[in-house]
Amino acid sequence: MKKIYVDTCSRPYHIYITQKDWNPFIEYLGECVRSKKLLVVCDENVYRLYYPIMDNMLSKYGYKHSVAVVPPGEDTKSLKHANSLYTAALDAHLDRDSTIIALGGGVVGDLAGFIAATYMRGIGFIQIPTTLLAQIDSSIGGKVAVNHPNAKNIIGAFYQPSMVYINIDTLTTLPRQEFTGGLAELIKYGYIWDGDFLEWLEDNIDGILAYDVDTLSYAIYKACTIKSHIVEMDEDEQGIRAILNFGHTVGHAIEAATGYKVYTHGEGVALGMVYETKIAYNLGLIDYNYVRKLIHLLERCSLPTKLHGIDSSILIDKMVLDKKNRGDNIVFILPTGTGKVDSFSDIDINMLNSVLQD
Q: Residues with catalytic annotation?
A: 121, 143, 185, 227, 237, 241, 245, 248, 252, 265
Cβ-in-10-Å burial (0-12, 13-18, 19+) of 293 comes to middle
Q: What is the Cα–Cα distance from 155 to 151, expressed in whole angstroms?
A: 9
Cβ-in-10-Å burial (0-12, 13-18, 19+) of 57 comes to middle
Residues 6+ apart with CB under 8 A from 317: none
Q: What is the Cα–Cα distance from 272 to 263, expressed in whole angstroms?
A: 12
Task: Look up residue 281 and give its amino acid.
Answer: Y
**Nearest in space to 140 (alpha carbons), one of 273, 8, 272:** 8
Cβ-in-10-Å burial (0-12, 13-18, 19+) of 62 comes to exposed
